[in-house]
Structure 1
Amino acid sequence: MHASSGLPVPGQPIEAKPSARTQFTSTILVLEAFVVLFACFVAMGLQGVEGAGADAVPVMSDATIWTSGGVLMAVLVILSRTVGRPEGIVAGSVAQGVVLATGLVVPMMFVVGAVFVVLWVVSLRLGGRIDRERAAFDAAHPDTAPNL
């Protein structure tokens, strides 16, 4: 491409655009891994704190908190690299339920998990729409479409 105009240089291949849906869903999963990290800190900090109702946190050992949290964080990061395939999207959707279920340990995670479920659905729908619009544009403008 010409540096100043952004137009393709004749004879040079045009780079394919990355999938918006893949970028969005991957980002959501990585952000969720960080949220799980912070939820582990909260679960540790709330151990032994007297709570009533929704504020009560089950008593677990630090090893249990960090092992289960660490496994969930690793799974989320690994899944973030697989969302380019249909089975990765399905696994990422299942992971949304697991993150939501962490609310059983840290009740506020029900709210945070619900926000991430909404973000996940928006990422799937909006990312898919952007990808379809890019494909339609590329079909209408074959001179600027990437050679795949």
Structure 2
Amino acid sequence: MKFEVTPGLRRLCATVLGMEAIVVGLVTPVAIMVNKVEPAVAVTAGVGLAVLCVVVTGMLKRPWAYVAGSFLQVLAIATGFLVPAMFFLGVIFAALWITAIIVARRVEGVTSR
């Protein structure tokens, strides 16, 4: 099965990753101030993951970027070890990521007929 990148798919997935970049970037101050995580660990996890989200968003023209985006969803869930609320938010973003892929493929399939 060939994975075809369409404009609608790119648009929806870019939206999810863009919003996710903001949320995981905000993990940094919460982890430091509320959960007393070492600043180096919090910055690496929060800001590093936010930057990765932005980079992958820019690469969404390539099929492998969707695999990378899926891996980012796992990393977002894993930030729950720093900020427990991220377990919930990470699962929400993973569900949005999967939904974006499914909905875009359905819509693009219907409009291509």
TM-score (ref. length: structure 1):
0.68
| CA deviation after TM superposition for structure 1 residue 82, in Å | 1.5
Please tell me whether residue 21 in structure 1 is matched to residue 17 in structure 2: no
TM-score (ref. length: structure 2):
0.87
Matched residues in 2 for 1:81 and 1:130: separation? 22
Aligned to 2:18: 30
| CA deviation after TM superposition for structure 1 residue 123, in Å | 0.1
Aligned to 1:105: 82
Where does the alignment leave 5 or more consecutive residues of structure 2 unmatched? 1-5
Task: Kindly provide the amino acid, as one letter, of the partner of residue 106 in structure 1.
Answer: V
Please tell me whether residue 61 in structure 1 is matched to residue 28 in structure 2: no
Secondary structure at the residue paired with 1:35?
Answer: helix
| CA deviation after TM superposition for structure 1 residue 64, in Å | 2.6
Q: Can you list the C-alpha shifts for 1:73-99, whole angstroms capped at 9, x where unaligned?
A: 111001011223210111100110000
Alignment RMSD = 1.4
Secondary structure at the residue paired with 2:26?
Answer: helix
More helix by share: 2
| CA deviation after TM superposition for structure 1 residue 129, in Å | 1.1
Task: Kindly provide the amino acid, as one letter, of the partner of residue 75 in structure 2.
Answer: V
Highest CA radius of gyration, 1 or 2? Answer: 1
Matched residues in 2 for 1:62 and 1:115: separation? 26
| CA deviation after TM superposition for structure 1 residue 47, in Å | 3.6
Matched residues in 2 for 1:66 and 1:78: separation? 17
Q: How many residues align?
A: 108
Displaced runs of 4+ in structure 1, greater than 6 A?
Answer: none
Matched residues in 2 for 1:45 and 1:95: separation? 24
Q: Which has the higher contact order (CA 8 A, sep 6+)?
A: 1
Aligned to 1:85: 62
| CA deviation after TM superposition for structure 1 residue 68, in Å | 2.8
Where does the alignment leave 5 or more consecutive residues of structure 1 unmatched? 1-17, 49-59, 137-148
The percent of aligned pairs where both chains have the same amino acid is 30
Secondary structure at the residue paired with 1:84?
Answer: coil
Aligned to 1:116: 93
Matched residues in 2 for 1:104 and 1:119: separation? 21
Aligned to 2:32: 44
Asked if structure 1 preserves the Cα contact closer than 8 Å seen for 2:60 and 2:66, the reply is yes
